[in-house]
Amino acid sequence: MAIWQVWAGGLAAVLVLMTVTWAISVVRHDASLVDRVWGLSFVVLAVVYAVLGDGAGPRTGLVLILVATWGLRLSVYITRRNWGEGEDKRYVAMREKRPESFPVTSLFTVFWLQAGLAWVISLPLLAALHRSSPETLGWLDVAAVLVWLVGLVFEAGGDWQLSRFLADPGSRGKVMDRGLWRYTRHPNYFGDATVWWAYYLLALATGAWWAAIGSALMTLFIVQVSGVALTERGMSSGGSTRQGYDEYVRRTNTFIPGPRKG
């Protein structure tokens, strides 16, 4: 099957996933369900690419294991974090602007939009899974696994450290500046971007240099749109009252980990 046909199959699958999620969100009045299936959407895409593609070698199994581990962990984490919290304030604001039409328009402006983003971002997965050539794993595959492990440690480790910090009553009003958060203000987002460059290395192992588009888009999305930028705007516009926040911002790198300043 041609690569564009495999890619089209992925689009159809992720649109079905997001449409079903949208239908549930309409019943529950909670569009933030889309965030819970974001990681899962890449697992679905990877499985479709593996089934429809020509690859069946060790790289196929490796990619599926890495994507499933990353994607399912992310979906489970977001589901647990948001359980019982109601609809995210971003979607509440969208709903309040158009209360009558939002249940219908959210299918296009939220769910299918994220489906389209996931589809384009998944280009490294498409390239790595479409064919098995070269059939043996090489140094780029090894490098990809190492980069992926670094990314997962930062992403999952950062999430775990923050959740424990927030659950501690003694942390109320304080800034999380321990562990991985000592070296970057957003270790989870840095880890997420790193994981996607690991997927690009797996694609590059097959010669698909063009797959960098997906990893670059994910990094841009994390840094400039939904992740780092959104969190930073929220903290600054809200005038964070957490003790030592301004000092933390001054001394700690925004995204790429590094030694503390001063």
pTM of the full structure: 0.93
CA contacts within 13 A on the Cβ side of 260: 13
Question: Hey, where are the domains in the chain?
Answer: 1-134, 137-262
CA distance 125 to 68: 12
pLDDT of 20: 98
Q: Give CA 64 to chain center in angstroms.
A: 16
Residue 59's pLDDT is what? 94
Please enumerate in sequence order all residues whose Cβ is within 8 A of that of 155, keeping only pairs 6 or more positions apart, or say none: 70, 74, 187, 188, 189, 190, 191, 192, 194, 195
Q: Which residues pair with 166 in a beta bridge?
A: none
CA–CA gap between residue 216 and residue 229 (Å, rounded): 16
- Average pLDDT per consecutive 10 residues, the chain (262 residues; last block may be shorter): 95 98 96 96 98 88 97 96 89 92 95 98 96 88 98 97 91 88 96 98 96 97 90 67 80 93 76
